[in-house]
Amino acid sequence: MTSSLWIGTRSAGLARLAEFLPNAGSSYAATRNEDRGPDDRSNVSCLSPWIRRRLLTEAEVVRAVRGAHGTTASEKFVDEVCWRTYWKGWLEGRPQLHAQYLVEVARLKSQLAEDGTLRARFEAARSGGTGIDCLDAWSRELRDTGWLHNHARMWFASIWIFTLRLPWQLGAEFFREHLLDFDPASNTLSWRWVAGLHTPGKHYLARAENIARYTNARFDPRGQLDESAAPLTEEIPPPRPVPPVFDKPITGDVALLLHDDDCDPGSLDLAGCTVRAVAGLAMPAPRATRGVAPAVAAFAHGAVEDALCCAERRFGVAAVRLDDSADIAVWASGHDLPVITPYAPVGPVADALAVLPTPPRAVPRAWDRHVWPHATKGFFQLRQHIPAYLASAPMGS
């Protein structure tokens, strides 16, 4: 798929879900690890850009797949959706790790300006000039399409860290600039997981045989990879409690601020609220010094525009398009109303909202409120709580 096929609207996401749904059961489980190349993505959903912006919610996608294929056949696909939730909840409990990542990226970018050798190695990896065919192809694919198969992302990160010996933070930043589905939690923590920093002593080593097998021999980097490297090490901080805002309901007349972390106001639980004003702002990467790829920015802005149109229909009020985070305070001051917003997890949106003179009150998703408290340790602790939630929760929440 090319980036032109990813359009930042809910209707485009629903169309892709409908197209993929017949393959989301046992066929997906059997073939999901195959990276067939950018011209054939029939074995995977490619839904992540829409789920990332919550143009589609996790709950509705999981229900659709379970409804079409049953609990057992849909298990692998549901797991993949829940991995994104796990990463979000895990980072929500340890926000300092994302702050440390940003500090390290800034430090390393300064180092690149001074260290010509490091800069040359880094630019070769970014531009597809390492001589390792698979990595170079994936680098070009990422820049050309804004997406990579999940297996390719793991291989790419492993080769970057353990064969090229490049800082993982710079690889994560490369993904941040180009991935249409970039998510601060999934991206940062997946790179840490590959490096061995998420589960101490356990890292992911790309192996030539595995790459050849799952790319149908498109690539075979035998003799080019370090397949015996040791994991990186770092102490993991204990988690903080789930944010207390999750337990504070909001009622009465409100002004609703939408953002590109959550673009489905149609399913947002606003029981007890009367929305009198709506505004929205896309903030795809305010801290990315290189900026983000045009396709990434276009998808984020399109998602917010779609959310505002949806909000106008649902609440019967005209929506205001904001151009900068500084405009939020100006817009809010024009309404004698409390400002609410969909809960923004750890990342650039949350950072921008936190420094406002009067930060808006956050409205959490039921999915996050139920699942995040179980994301303190390993993934499978969280996974076992999903069926009970789906059986009892409202549609789309």
Closest CA to 202 of 34, 378, 76: 378
276 and 170 within one domain: no
Residue 18 counted as domain residue: yes
Q: Is the pLDDT of residue 289 over 60?
A: no
Q: Is the pLDDT of residue 383 over 90?
A: no
CATH number of the domain to which 386 belongs: 1.25.40.80
pLDDT in the model for residue 391: 76
How far is 109 from 106, CA to CA, in rounded Å? Answer: 5
pLDDT in the model for residue 380: 87
Q: Is the pLDDT of residue 70 over 60?
A: yes
CATH number of the domain to which 195 belongs: 1.10.579.10
Residue 233 counted as domain residue: no
Q: Which two tokens stand for residue 227?
A: 């397949």
Average pLDDT over residues 90-119: 96
Secondary structure in 3-state letters for the chain: CCHHHCCCCHHHHHHHHHHHHHHCCHHHHHHCCCCCCCCCCCCCCCCHHHHHCCCCCHHHHHHHHHHHHHHHHCHHHHHHHHHHHHHHHHHHCCHHHHHHHHHHHHHHHHHHHHCHHHHHHHHHHHHCCCCCHHHHHHHHHHHHHCCCCHHHHHHHHHHHHHHCCCCHHHHHHHHHHHCCCCCHHHHHHHHHHHHCCCECCECCCCCHHHHHHHCCCCCCCCCCCCCCCCCCCCCCCCCCCCCHHHHCCCCEEEEEEEECCECCHHHCCCCCEEEEEEEEECCCCCCCCCCCCHHHHHHHHHHHHHHHHHHHHHHCCCEEECCCCHHHHHHHHCCCCCEEEECCCCCHHHHHHHCCCCCCEEECCHHHHHHHHHCCCCHHHHHCCHHHHHHHCCCCC
Residue 224 counted as domain residue: no
- Choice among 5-19, 140-154, 244-258 with the minimum mean pLDDT: 244-258
Average pLDDT over residues 82-106: 95
- Choice among 10-14, 62-66, 128-132, 363-367 with the minimum mean pLDDT: 363-367
Q: How many domains does the chain have?
A: 3
Residue with tokens 């080019």: 224
199 and 252 within one domain: no
67 and 78 within one domain: yes
pLDDT in the model for residue 119: 97
Average pLDDT over residues 6-19: 96
Average pLDDT over residues 309-330: 93
Residue 294 counted as domain residue: yes
Residue 234 counted as domain residue: no
Sign (positive or negative) of CA dihedral 15, 17, 21, 27: positive
pLDDT in the model for residue 248: 64
Residue 236 counted as domain residue: no
Using alpha carbons only, give the angle 57, 59, 60 rounded to the nearest 5 degrees: 70
Residue 225 counted as domain residue: no
Check if the beta carbon of residue 288 is closer than 8 Å to that of residue 176: yes
355 and 248 within one domain: yes
CA distances in angstroms from 225 to 78, 156, 161, listed in the order given: 32, 11, 11
Q: Is the pLDDT of residue 374 over 70?
A: yes
pLDDT in the model for residue 387: 82
Residue 325 counted as domain residue: yes
Average pLDDT over residues 356-362: 90
SS3 91: helix
Q: Is the pLDDT of residue 61 over 70?
A: yes
According to the per-residue pLDDT averaged within each range, which of 113-127, 330-344, 359-373 is highest? 113-127
CATH number of the domain to which 331 belongs: 3.40.50.620
pLDDT band at 245 (very low <50, low <70, confident <90, very high): low
164 and 76 within one domain: no
Q: Is the pLDDT of residue 221 over 80?
A: yes
According to the per-residue pLDDT averaged within each range, which of 4-18, 135-149, 244-258 is highest? 135-149
260 and 329 within one domain: yes
282 and 172 within one domain: no
Q: Is the pLDDT of residue 95 over 90?
A: yes
Longest CA span, the chain: 67
Mean of the per-residue pLDDT values of the chain:
92
332 and 281 within one domain: yes
100 and 49 within one domain: no
* Containing structural domain, residue 252: 244-363
pLDDT band at 171 (very low <50, low <70, confident <90, very high): very high
Q: Is the pLDDT of residue 291 over 90?
A: no
348 and 312 within one domain: yes
- Choice among 222-236, 243-257, 355-369 with the minimum mean pLDDT: 243-257
The DSSP letter of residue 297 is H
pLDDT in the model for residue 251: 87
191 and 122 within one domain: yes
355 and 249 within one domain: yes
